[in-house]
Amino acid sequence: RLQWNKLSNDTRIKAGYSFSELVTECTIAGETCTSNDFSTFLHPDYGVCFTFISDREVTRPGLGQGLRLLMTVNQDSPQASLFDFLPTTDSAAIWAVIHSND
């Protein structure tokens, strides 16, 4: 964490994943969703974050009716990774937080 705090916001953004790099599949109520259905912000501790902001509503119960995300952390990506910025980091994680709209 001490190393992370020394990084500029620009470097933190570069160290994170874009929506298209992270989210392999996205559906809401059985329909495809895209990065346009999410806002992006930089959290001081967790890095690049995405918040679902679509006005689509779930009207039926069931496994395939809610927000469904398939997320992939590709640590072998040829693009810049967190390991380039924090050489002591040897793992990756995804945090998912479900909260109300307000």
Indicate whether 100 belongs to any domain: no
> What pLDDT sits at residue 2?
60
Indicate whether 54 belongs to any domain: yes
Digit-by-digit pLDDT tens for the chain (102 residues) are 567 777 787 887 777 788 998 999 999 988 999 999 999 988 887 888 999 987 887 888 888 888 999 998 876 654 555 555 555 556 677 888 887 776
> What pLDDT sits at residue 86?
55
Indicate whether 86 belongs to any domain: no
43/77 Cα distance (integer angstroms): 23
The count of domains in the chain is 1
Tell me the pTM. Answer: 0.72
55/4 Cα distance (integer angstroms): 34
Phi, psi at residue 71, to the nearest 5°?
-115, 140
Phi, psi at residue 82, to the nearest 5°?
-60, -30
pLDDT digits 0-9 by tens, 20-48: 989 999 999 889 999 999 999 888 878 88
Provide CB contacts within 8 A for 84, sequence distance 6+.
15
Range of the domain at 15: 2-72
